Structure 1
């Protein structure tokens, strides 16, 4: 007996099976799209960079955590999460960051990419600490900052009016 998983399966001309996602999946994907937009905004970049500039020198690559790490972590959550949540509630009626983070944690093993790494810094102290250790390594010259010289712009696909970034 087959169980109805709330998805419809389709085979395209190449024989690739795809699914029609549930409303919950569509909502999750929509939120992620909005978050990607927020993360690309200069205001967010400036906010996160100024926060990291303020505290990067506090972090060491030791197994033992300093007492101040938890205070910095909580401040980060308050500032960065509030910034993202404010933007999302303006775009998505009745948005709940707490509920979204819950969904994010449930899907943790399925998710990959920079957006998700950044989002996990809200709920995962280890991810947060690693973010600071990476930033410290760039600041001290231990590793090269690969973001220097990268410029992301939007454009259109030739022959269409479809925009991409």
Structure 2
């Protein structure tokens, strides 16, 4: 009996069907979080956007599979070897804070998935938000409260990041 191989094209053809089957939920169930805005089907952190690019321009840039790097059990993609190298030397500097979860959700004690296209740098820290309204409401007090709550929430959920 011959083996059946799933090609990239074959996997991509399954995406529309997966969207119909998978429940659309903004809140991440504890114990099974999608940290760093990871795509659940591909395992790509930031859904394939280059984390270093958030600091280099006004919009994040898509990464390339030619510049993959594995960190925290996820595949991180980069638009160049230089960006991959910078991340590999100091991933905590470039990765989003709070495991890539929405700060407002963290303050409320919930892991709420964030959108990698709704991001902001506050000082030298990258935060992702669920939507533009939450990003607009975010300020130093909210972010400080989220940072203070994050270690306990991360420990209680038994997750990394």
* TM-score of the superposed pair, with normalisation by structure 2: 0.25
Point out which structure has higher relative CO (alpha carbons under 8 A, 6+ apart). 2
Structure number with bigger Rg: 1
- The structure richer in strand per residue is 2
* TM-score of the superposed pair, with normalisation by structure 1: 0.25
- The structure richer in helix per residue is 1
